Amino acid sequence: MMKKFLIIFLSVIISLWFLTPVFFIVLASLTPSSDYYNPTKIFPSRLTLEHLYKLFVTLGGGKATLVSIEVALISIGVSFLLGLPAGYALTRYIFPGKNIIRLSMLMTRSIPLIVIAVPLVVLYMRLNLADTTLGVALAHASMILPFVVLITSSVFSGISVEYEEAGMVFGLSRFQAFLRITLPLALPGLAASAIFAFIMSWNEVFAASILTLTNRTLPAHILNTAMASPDYFKFAAGTIMAIPAMVFIFFIRKYLVSMWGITLK
């Protein structure tokens, strides 16, 4: 009885700790400006979609959202095409240099993206990729790729190699065994990883704002325009960025744990 009460009590505290900031930013984005500046009014007298509408339609948030989605989809495509085989190799094969590769994948994150983006501008000008959606997507893919390698390797390691071996006993080649046995089993985890990759690209600001001027993604657009706007536009921006990400995490919540089983042995 006591134990049950303790679990409920802790659950409530944890939920409040993680949900309160989200609740407040959504509330602030729906609060009319007069109520927002009224210091004694915690809850607004009415809710309004005005700030969200203005940000989305008048301030160019709608177009930026489309760019964000396009960038995310291309970068997922590129990083999975290249990262999936690497993730598989890291799980299923033993070869020299394996741990170094795994570690250097992690270490690529020690290089700040802001500075990678600077030389990339020069490279992109030569390749005619400057200020294009594809350019940003390729940069995002380079950021996501190491994670795709680590995360897919974690997903594959959750699927027993014995299934594949059984398939090979019955005359399948290694590739066929992978395609018919491992891949279908890994698919939910891989889809979850793809959604996580989507979120990483959706949230990235610096590469996107340095590499483009006219085709900005939503966060880059917000960093460059909404930050100079009144507070309630900032909150509307925060809400627009937060809601899709939260919905996605809801769909992949079951797979989060198996995805992040990355350890350095």
Partner 1 sequence: MRGKWIPFLLILPAILYLLLLMGYPLFETFRLAFTSNEGVFGNFKRLVESGQFWNAMKNTLLLTVVIVPIQLILALGLALFVNKKFKGYTTILYFIAIPLALSDVTAALMSYTIFSPNGYINKILMNFHLIERPIYFFGYLFKNREFWVVALTEVWRATPLVFIIILAGLQSINKEYLEAADLFGFSKWKKFTKIILPLLKPSIMSALLLRTLFAFQIFGVVWLLAGRDIPVLAGETYYWYTFMNDPNMASAYALVIALVTIIVSWFYITFLRAKHLEGAR
- Give the residue with the Cβ less far from partner 1, 181 or 222: 222
Which amino acid is located at 34 in the chain?
S
* Minimum distance, C-beta of residue 57 to partner 1, in the bound complex (Å): 20
For the segment 207-246, give every residue that binds partner 1 (CB under 8 A).
210, 219, 222-223, 227, 231, 234-235, 237-238, 241-242, 245-246
Q: Which helix (H) or strand (E) holds 146?
A: helix 133-157
Which residue number, 56 or 206, has a Cβ lying nearer to partner 1?
206
**Which residue in 1, 2, 5, 18 binds partner 1 (CB under 8 A)?**
18
Query: Do the beta carbons of residue 208 and residue 71 sit within 8 Å?
Result: yes
Length of the chain: 265
Tell me how far the alpha carbon of residue 24 is from its chain's centroid: 23
Looking at residues 79 to 108 of the shown chain, list those that interact with partner 1 (rule: CB under 8 A).
81-83, 85-86, 88-90, 92-93, 95, 98, 101, 103, 106-108
Q: What are the structure tokens assigned to 129, written together? A: 């990729």
Residue of 10, 100, 161, 166 interacting with partner 1 (CB under 8 A): 10
The Cα angle at residue 88 between residues 83 and 91, in degrees rounded to 5: 125
The piece of 37-45, 51-59, 65-73, 186-194 that touches partner 1 (CB under 8 A) is 37-45
Shortest Å distance, C-beta 148 to partner 1: 8
Nearest CA-CA partner of 150 in 183, 105, 112, 195 = 105
Site for partner 1 in 104-163 (CB under 8 A): 106-112, 114-120, 122-123, 138-139, 141-142, 145-146, 149, 154
Encoded tokens for 150: 């680590």
Burial (CB < 10 A; 0-12, 13-18, 19+), residue 152, is buried
Residues 164-203 that bind partner 1 (CB under 8 A): 199, 202-203
DSSP 260: T
From 49-57, 58-66, 164-172, 247-255, span contacting partner 1 (CB under 8 A): 247-255
CB 210 within 8 A of CB 161: no
Residue 264 in the binding site for partner 1 (CB under 8 A): yes
CB of 259 to partner 1, least distance (A): 8
Which stretch in 6-14, 50-58, 163-171, 186-194 sits in contact with partner 1 by CB under 8 A? 6-14
Identify whether the C-beta of residue 44 lies closer than 8 Å to the C-beta of residue 35: yes
